[in-house]
A and B are shown apart, each in its own frame.
Chain A
Amino acid sequence: MRKRNAARSALFYAGVACLLVFFMVPLVWLISTSFKNSRDAFAIPPKWLFQPTLDNYANVFDRSDFFKAFGNSVFVSLVSTLLCLCLAAVTAYALAYFQFPRKSKIMTFILSSRVAPPILMLLPVYFISVQLGVNDSYALLIFMYMLMNLPFAVLMLVTYFEDIPSEIREAAFVDGCSETRTFFKVILPLARGGLAATFILSMVLAWNEFLIGLVMTGKMTQTLPVLVTSFMTFQGTEWGPLSAAGTFIMLPMLVFGIFVQKHLVKGMTMGAVK
């Protein structure tokens, strides 16, 4: 009996190992390739053990456009996320605590802007920005990313505010706090976990975003995901530097994402799953 159990659990762990291999191989391959020289990178059979080298990173860090794009990505995703959070927190507070006419219609409207494909918005905005000569500007890119994240940030924050018992808010009123003061001094500090999770998730989404960046950026405002695709040229692709750049782009967001993993699903399903 015990032997059979041991065999069954060994089989179970073998299954888990297979699953992990399937889902992890791309990341492992990317990171290991970034430390390979060009001969090892495409060796057949694939080399999983090799002499590591930092050449690819040196190559990437030598490119001035890489640092420019890195700075752009940090600046644009940070500023757009902060703006988005400010707007979303105020709106979510009202949606969570106030009763007012057409509230459910407003919720549906916000939800529907999450559903609409971004390219629908991109065509008119691109056309107008070309007419006005404001394409390839930080302000426009920041605004677009803020707009992209606003609907989900509002819906996500509503669920966090709803988790705070309304008695706490009423107690603050009894103690003589105004609505604004209650919001800043009572509700926001209590919801800081939710605020942090929303901040990180919209940061990750803005950082990883590609289509808006591809259309709206030029030489000056190019973000990292857009720059990476320019490593593929007609002469062929420089896979070594590309894998180093890919690793460099992905690692901060992976760390962030794992850091808020408990909130990630809640955020990505807009509170439908706790």
Chain B
Amino acid sequence: MIRQLVNRSQAWILPTMLVLGVMSAIVMGYSIYMAVRDINLIKSASSFVGADNFSALFQDARAWGSLSRTVVFSVSATAVELLFGLGLALYLNRPFFGRKLVRTLLLIPMIMTPVVSGLIWRVFYDPNNGIVNYYLGQLGLGDKHNWLGSTDLAMVSVIIADVWQWTPFVFLILAAGLDAMPSEPLEAAEVDGASSFQRFYHVVLPLLAPSLMIAFLLRIIDSVKTFDIIYVMTRGGPSLATETTNMYAYIQGFNNFNISYATVINLTITVIITFLFTTLYARLSKARR
């Protein structure tokens, strides 16, 4: 009976597991094969090089620079998105005329085609004809900023575009959390004479913690993978100022055709991401319990 049950379940699970499992096996197997050889698609032959790619990676300042830029990008974009998203959710958490419409309109940045959004921001940031500089000039904040062209501002500019794209997502998660929040604890706190800050800090924030955790987790995982907007806005430039590890692996693999070396860069990121993910996931499930 039990065996029959297992067999029955397996038949339903099988197709997906076969596709995902076989693909993962091929990807892992080939990645390891490629990592220990020096495959370059421009050269015709490749040979076994052992751990040379890994030792090259440890001496590759560009790779470590890209990793630190990935951390700067992901952490600051995620932090700003959480902060803005929380502010937005609290600000709009009241009945008002047009509430549904506002929520609908806020969906737009996250479903717009990212490549197109990146192109729009690129035009906005144009130092001579862009509307960002024009309106900043009108406000007396200077109209000569070279947003995407200077090493100081390029990263900030890309982060602003990412914040624009993903703050609504954080907002919607937190707004759903606020909607589902029971009203009794807040009322009890009010009766007990808690100030509005105390109510927020001691009642709302702890109750919102699971939603905040989910938003944080999904944003940090996906921001590490950000490719589209960086590719169309800067391609990692100027002078590597916005080159994240993802972008660097792309350039090594598909511009320089150093397939082996790109794989090694990738395997290293994935180990770091998986480590990040598993520790965070453990903490998240603890927080939800």
Contact = CB atoms under 8 A, between A and B. Distances in A.
Interface string A17-45: 00110111011011000000000001011
A254 B111 contact: yes
A174 interface: no
Contact of B23 (A121, A257, A265): A121
A214 B262 CA distance: 16
B8 A179 contact: yes
**Which applies to chain B's interface (DSSP): helix, strand, loop or mixed?**
helix
Contact of B111 (A12, A253, A274): A253
Contacts of A146: 19
Contact of A150 (B19, B30, B273): B19
Contacts of A109: 20
A23 B129 contact: no
B150 interface: no
In this complex, the interface size class of chain B, counting residues with CB under 8 Å from chain A, is 35 or more
Contacts of A125: 27
A43 to B, nearest CB: 9
Given A106-B13, A151-B20, A249-B116, A258 B228 contact: no
B19 to A, nearest CB: 7
A146 B121 CA distance: 30
6 interchain residue pairs of minimum CB distance: A94-B12, A124-B30, A257-B111, A91-B16, A100-B9, A246-B116
Interface of A: 9, 12-13, 15-16, 19-20, 22-24, 26-27, 29-30, 42, 44-46, 87-88, 90-91, 93-95, 98-101, 106, 109-110, 112-113, 115-128, 130, 146-147, 150-151, 154, 179, 204, 207-208, 210-211, 214-215, 225, 228-229, 232, 239, 242, 246, 249-250, 253-254, 257-258, 261, 264-265, 268-269, 272-274
Given A26-B117, A90-B15, 17 more contacts: A26-B121, A27-B112, A42-B129, A93-B12, A110-B20, A112-B277, A117-B224, A119-B250, A150-B20, A154-B16, A179-B8, A204-B111, A208-B114, A208-B115, A228-B115, A232-B232, A249-B116
